């Protein structure tokens, strides 16, 4: 009798427990805004379970069904096409923005006015002093150094000279191997290129070790910030510690041995003096920015270069046109002459291939902000202290903005530009990616060399795509690679 009573009580009690747990986050974070009296309306949505919020649904879409955009489509179907939804992700109550209008405001006016500040969920991984985290004059200052180092025409011209031989060499090696996992190979060459470009790091064993450590750091970037052995976040923190030791020793060597001082971004940061307080950057500031730049610089370009190889292998008619354009460019040059920055202005088809790969490859699926003061958008309140996730990826594959969006079709860039806010692969506003030109120029160089001299074929053209920590074919785009 006792047992039956216990089962009956348990069955009656369980729904109550579920209801309490399910309502906990809503009561905790939304209560002041859910009463009629408040007169302020939160975006529609739900904050999920205590602590984990809607993380399980996020994992379901990104990891298990491998249909990440369903995370947004489901909310549009359930709550209507409001373009803003409340949720709880990465450990915080959050508003997701995903319509072109909302994303335009969040990256533009909202960020410019200071209502929204930097908001990466894991400052411990990225570094609290890195450009992606700092605000105001400190942000402007670091950004200025960075733009000069990687975005001025002079620096881009220099890059064509510095990087082309190493890309050429890498392609030769791939052909010697015959079969390659493109993502691994591209990662290796891009990692050493960004280190060479910004920090003059050359030693192969050091670069190899650093790349190994960086892989752990990248995995923790968009992970739930739970510092427990075995979690991606925990190993990212460990990776950061190791990098810190390596970088501080490099800085120490440079200071101790004046003759080894190089003209590069690291040295610029070490020498820089603030114009209004006359202070130098601290070692922490330098280290955080070095780490985040390598991270932003190599992971993004490795993904887009791998994807372009993948899509070109699957779209021979696009590859044919690309080859024709690049063959003509080369014919006008001497046999061993390099591609130059000026040449890219005549590579109109190649530039459309680049735009298309950046759209379809979802290198940066979403970016983060924190709400610094209560902000209104379209009649909805964004409460102070909440996070904002500016969801970039879904607009890039929304048929309302791109016809047959899953088709790799560079010709779509012939026509009028897509709706403002719909194509924000590099972001917009005060935090617009400062490396967009650097990334594009690397793609120009790579496409020129690979299309003129090599052919390749995917081993598994129909392999699934994984989406964490980034979108990539599961086999890393394994392919046969040989000279033409």
Q: Which of 47, 223, 232, 438 binds ligand HEM (CB under 6 A)?
A: 438
Q: Does 150 bind ligand HEM (CB under 6 A)?
A: yes
For 429, the token pair is 């506003």
3-state SS class at 275? coil
Q: Applying CB under 6 A, which of residues 425, 441, 450, 477 lies at the interface with ligand HEM?
A: 425
Query: Is 441 in contact with 160 (CB distance < 8 Å)?
Result: yes
Nearer to ligand HEM, 300 or 315 (CB): 300
Task: Compute the least distance from the CB of residue 439 to ligand HEM, in Å.
Answer: 4
Q: Which of 97, 364, 375, 418 binds ligand HEM (CB under 6 A)?
A: 364
Question: Shortest approach of ligand HEM to residue 431 CB, angstroms?
Answer: 4
Are 387 and 90 in contact, with CB atoms under 8 Å apart?
A: yes
Position closest to ligand HEM via CB: 435
The helix (H) or strand (E) run that includes residue 95 is strand 92-97
Among 431, 448, 467, 470, the residue binding ligand HEM under the rule CB under 6 A is: 431
Q: Which of 30, 218, 363, 479 binds ligand HEM (CB under 6 A)?
A: 363
Q: Which is nearer to ligand HEM, 29 or 298 (CB)?
A: 298
Closer by beta carbon to ligand HEM, 42 or else 299: 299
Taking the least distance from each CB to ligand HEM, the nearer of 293 and 339 is: 293
434 touching ligand HEM, by CB under 6 A:
yes
- The single residue among 186, 223, 232, 439 that binds ligand HEM, judged by CB under 6 A, is 439
Q: Which of 301, 315, 350, 471 binds ligand HEM (CB under 6 A)?
A: 301
Instruction: Choose, by CB under 6 A, the member of 94, 117, 192, 304 that binds ligand HEM.
Output: 304
Q: Does residue 247 belong to the site contacting ligand HEM (CB under 6 A)? A: no
Nearer to ligand HEM, 87 or 361 (CB): 361
- For residues 50 and 429, which CB has a smaller minimum distance to ligand HEM in the complex? 429
Cβ proximity to ligand HEM: between 25 and 107 the closer is 107
- Binding ligand HEM (rule: CB under 6 A), the pick from 405, 435, 469, 476 is 435
State the Cα–Cα distance between residues 254 and 260, nearest whole angstrom: 6
**Residue selected from 107, 302, 350, 365 as contacting ligand HEM according to rule CB under 6 A:** 107
Judged by beta carbon, residue 62 or residue 424, the one nearer ligand HEM is 424
Among 108, 132, 405, 421, binds ligand HEM (CB under 6 A): 132
Check residue 344 for interaction with ligand HEM (CB under 6 A).
no
Least Cα distance to 364 among 103, 130, 93 occurs for: 103
Rule CB under 6 A: say whether 306 interacts with ligand HEM.
no
Choices 71-79, 93-101, 251-259, 432-440 (CB under 6 A): range interacting with ligand HEM: 432-440
Give the nearer residue to ligand HEM in terms of CB position, either 25 or 187. Answer: 187
Closer residue to ligand HEM, CB minimum distance, 421 or 434: 434
Q: Name which of 45 and 427 has its Cβ closer to ligand HEM.
A: 427
Write a three-state SS string for the chain.
CHHHHHHHHHHHHHHHHHHHHHHHHHHHHHHHHHCHHHCCECCCECCCECCCECHHHHHHHHHHCCCCCHHHHHHHHHHCCCCEEEEEECCEEEEEECCHHHHHHHHCHHHHCCCEEECCCCHHHHCCCCCCCCCHHHHHHHHHHHHHHHCCHHHHHHHHHHHHHHHHHHHHHHHHHCEEEHHHHHHHHHHHHHHHHHHCCCCHHHHHHHHHHHHHHHHHHCCCCCCCCCCHHHHHHHHHHHHHHHHHHHHHHHHHCHHHCCCCHHHHHHHCECCCCCCECCHHHHHHHHHHHHHHHHHHHHHHHHHHHHHHHHCHHHHHHHHHHHHHHHHCCCCCCCCCCHHHHHCHHHHHHHHHHHHHCCCCCEEEEEECCCEEECCEEECCCCEEEEECHHHHCCCCCCCCCCCCCHHHHHCCCCCCCCCCCCCCHHHCCCCHHHHHHHHHHHHHHHHHHEEEEECCCCCCEECCCCCEECCCCEEEEEEC
**Interface pick for ligand HEM out of 167, 358, 445, 447 (rule CB under 6 A):** 358
Contact residues toward ligand HEM (CB under 6 A) are 107, 131-132, 143, 150, 293, 296-297, 300-301, 304, 358, 363-364, 367, 425-427, 431, 433-435, 438-439
């Amino acid at each position: 009798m006792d047992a039956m009573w216990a089962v009956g009580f348990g069955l009656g009690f369980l729904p109550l427990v579920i209801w309490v747990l399910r309502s906990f986050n809503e009561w905790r974070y939304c209560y002041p805004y859910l009463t009629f009296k408040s007169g302020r309306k939160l975006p529609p949505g739900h904050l999920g379970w205590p602590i984990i919020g809607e993380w399980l649904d996020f994992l379901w879409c990104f990891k298990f069904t491998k249909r990440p955009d369903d995370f947004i489509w489901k909310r549009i179907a359930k709550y209507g096409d409001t373009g803003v939804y409340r949720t709880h992700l990465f450990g915080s109550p959050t508003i997701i923005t995903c319509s072109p209008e909302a994303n335009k405001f969040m990256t533009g006016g909202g960020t410019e006015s200071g209502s929204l500040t930097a908001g990466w969920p894991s400052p411990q991984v990225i570094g609290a002093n890195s450009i992606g985290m700092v605000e105001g004059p400190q942000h402007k200052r670091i950004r200025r150094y960075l733009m000069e180092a990687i975005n001025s025409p002079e620096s881009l011209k220099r890059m064509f000279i510095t990087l082309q031989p190493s890309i050429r060499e890498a392609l030769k090696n791939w052909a010697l191997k015959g079969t390659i996992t493109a993502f691994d190979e591209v990662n290796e060459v891009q990692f050493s290129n960004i280190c060479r470009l910004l920090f003059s790091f050359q030693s192969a064993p050091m670069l190899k070790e650093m790349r190994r450590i960086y892989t752990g750091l990248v995995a923790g970037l968009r992970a739930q910030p739970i510092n427990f052995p075995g979690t991606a976040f925990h190993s990212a923190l460990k990776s950061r510690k190791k990098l810190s030791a390596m970088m501080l020793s490099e800085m120490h060597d440079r200071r101790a041995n004046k003759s080894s001082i190089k003209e590069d971004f690291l040295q610029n940061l070490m020498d820089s003096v603030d114009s209004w307080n006359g202070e130098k950057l601290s070692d922490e500031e330098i280290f955080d920015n070095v780490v985040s730049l390598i991270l932003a610089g190599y992971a993004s370009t490795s993904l887009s270069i791998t994807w372009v190889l993948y899509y070109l292998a699957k779209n021979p008619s696009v590859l044919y046109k690309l080859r024709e354009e690049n063959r003509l460019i080369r014919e006008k040059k001497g046999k061993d002459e390099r591609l130059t920055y000026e040449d890219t202005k005549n590579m109109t088809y190649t530039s459309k291939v680049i735009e298309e790969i950046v759209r379809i490859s979802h290198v940066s699926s979403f970016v983060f902000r924190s709400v610094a003061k209560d902000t209104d958008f379209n009649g909805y309140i964004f409460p102070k202290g909440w996070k904002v996730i500016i969801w970039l990826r879904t607009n890039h594959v929304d048929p309302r903005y791109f016809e047959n969006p899953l088709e790799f079709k560079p010709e779509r860039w012939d026509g009028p530009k897509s709706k403002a806010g719909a194509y924000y692969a590099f972001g917009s506003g005060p935090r617009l990616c400062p490396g967009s030109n650097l990334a594009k120029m690397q793609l120009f160089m790579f496409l020129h060399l690979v299309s003129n001299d090599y052919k390749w074929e995917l081993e598994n053209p129909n392999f699934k795509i994984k989406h964490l920590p980034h979108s990539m074919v599961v086999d890393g785009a394994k392919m046969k690679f040989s000279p033409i």
